[in-house]
Amino acid sequence: MRVSQRVVNEELRASLQRCLCKLQEAIKVTSSGKRIELPSDDPEEIDELLGYKIDLRRSEQMAKDAQNALTFLNTTETILNQVEGLLGRLKEIAVMGASDTLNDRDRAALAEEVKQIKEELVRLANTSVAGQHIFAGTATTAPPYQVEGDRIVYKGNSGAILRQIGPNETIQINLPGDEVFGTEEGGLLATVAKLEENLRDGNVGAVREAISELDEHHETVLAARAKVGSLTERVKSALEAMDELIARLKEFISQIEEEDLAEAAMKLAEADNAYKASLLAAARILGISIIDLLG
C-alpha cells in the first residue's frame, strides 16, 4: 500500500516532537537539578516523596520547638543560679541580724540590704523570654509578681507549658512561680519580706526563725535546678535525635527528587544529539533545509 507524502510528513513531525520533548525535559532537569517537580514527573514515587516532605516539615517544627524549650530552660537555670546566690547572702544577713551585739542602726542597714535583694528577687521572678514570663505558669503575657503596697502578689497560675520535642515525647518546660518564689501567703518572697520587717522592728527571735526558713527555700531552689538540669539534658538529646532524623529525611528526599548532575548532563547531550540527528534525517527525506523544516 502506497504511503502518502502527507502521512510521511506527519510521522516525521511527530518523531521530531518526541525528540524535542525529551530534549526539553533533559534541559529542565539539568537546570533545576531535580528529577521530580510535578506529580506527573513520576507518579509511582510522588506519594513516597510527599510523605517524606510532610515528615520533614513536622520534624523541623519539633526541632524548632525543642530549641525554644532549650532557651526557656537555660534562662530558668540562669535565674535559679542567681536566686541561689542571693539566698546565700540573705542567710548571712539573717545570721548577723540574729546577733544580740547589733544595735537598731545596724539592723536597719541590714534591712535596707534585704529590701534591695527582695526587689532583685521580684525582678528575677518576672523574667521573660521572647515575651513569655517564665515563672507565670501559663499566664505568660504579664509579669507574675506585682508589688502592691507592702505586699508581693502572685498573679500567675500553676499551669504547665508543654512542648513536643520528639515524635513521642512531650515535656513540661516551666516552673510556676508559686513553686519557686511562693505567693503572698508563704514562700521565698514572703520570708524575705518578713525578714526585712523583723530586722527593722528589732525582732531578733523572728530573725532567727528566718534562718531555717531560708535553708528550706535553698533546698527548694536546689531541687528546682536539678529538675531543670534533667529536662535540659532530655531536650539536648531530643535535639540531637531530631537533627539526625532531619538529615536522613533530606537524604531520602534528595535520592528520590534530585538528579545526579553528571548523569543529567549525559542525558542532555544524548537528547540534544538525538534531536539534531532527527532534524538532519527529516530534512534529507523531505528534501528541504533544516531552517525550512523548523519554520
If one compares 141 and 14, the residue with the highest pLDDT of the two is: 141
Least trusted range by pLDDT, from 27-41, 108-122, 126-140, 189-203: 27-41
Sign of the CA dihedral 187, 139, 66, 162? positive
Please tell me the predicted confidence (pLDDT) of residue 270.
Answer: 64
| C-alpha cell belonging to residue 241 | 535525635
pLDDT at 249 over 50: yes
If one compares 49 and 194, the residue with the highest pLDDT of the two is: 194
If one compares 260 and 69, the residue with the highest pLDDT of the two is: 69
pLDDT tier, 23 (very low <50, low <70, confident <90, very high otherwise)? low
If one compares 270 and 173, the residue with the highest pLDDT of the two is: 173
Element (H, E) at 45: helix 43-97
Q: How far apart are CA 136 and CA 158, in angstroms?
A: 8
Give the predicted TM-score (pTM) of the model.
0.74
Number of residues written out for the chain? 295
pLDDT at 114 over 90: yes
Q: How far apart are CA 235 and CA 164, in angstroms?
A: 10
Q: Report yes or no: 202 and 138 within 8 Å, Cβ to Cβ.
A: no
Please tell me the predicted confidence (pLDDT) of residue 177.
Answer: 96
Interval 137-145 mean pLDDT: 97
If one compares 229 and 101, the residue with the highest pLDDT of the two is: 229
Please tell me the predicted confidence (pLDDT) of residue 256.
Answer: 76
Q: Report yes or no: 242 and 59 within 8 Å, Cβ to Cβ.
A: yes
pLDDT tier, 259 (very low <50, low <70, confident <90, very high otherwise)? low
Please tell me the predicted confidence (pLDDT) of residue 184.
Answer: 87
Interval 191-211 mean pLDDT: 95
pLDDT at 225 over 70: yes
pLDDT at 143 over 90: yes
pLDDT tier, 1 (very low <50, low <70, confident <90, very high otherwise)? very low
If one compares 274 and 180, the residue with the highest pLDDT of the two is: 180
In sequence order, the β-bridge partners of residue 171 are: 163
Please give the mean pLDDT across all residues of the chain: 84
